[in-house]
Homo-oligomer: A and B are copies of this chain.
Amino acid sequence: MLTIKPRPRSLAKFRAATSEAAALLRTLANEDRLSLLCQLTQGESCVSDLAEKTSIMQPTLSQQLGVLREQGLVATRRDGKRIFYSISDPRALALLRTLYGLY
């Protein structure tokens, strides 16, 4: 049977954890954001490179990168005109690793 042994914890903490986890999943649960993050698992990348690799339209790209920034999943670093993105959230990376293993 497919089960997981529970770790004891309070109901309130369980609810809070579920809520946080759902928020993280919501952020990952968009095809554009997911492929951006997949690209970023292989190292930092600037916006124009991401645009080329993912063929996402520029405004959409910028909007979705904005979501990833707001949620704290990515960090940015400017070098001249370019802005480089990289994954900054270990939880997101852990989920991406699991997904890599599954697909």
B2 touches A87 (CB 8 A): yes
Bound: A103/B31 CA distance, A: 24
Contact with B along A74-89 (1 / 0, CB 8 A): 0000000000001110
A18 within 8 A of B: yes
Residues of B within 8 A of A98 (CB): 94-95, 98
Residues of B within 8 A of A99 (CB): 21, 95
B31 touches A29 (CB 8 A): no
Bound: A39/B59 CA distance, A: 40
Residues of B within 8 A of A101 (CB): 94
Q: Do A41 and B3 form a contact, CB below 8 Å, given A26-B29, A29-B29, A31-B19?
A: yes
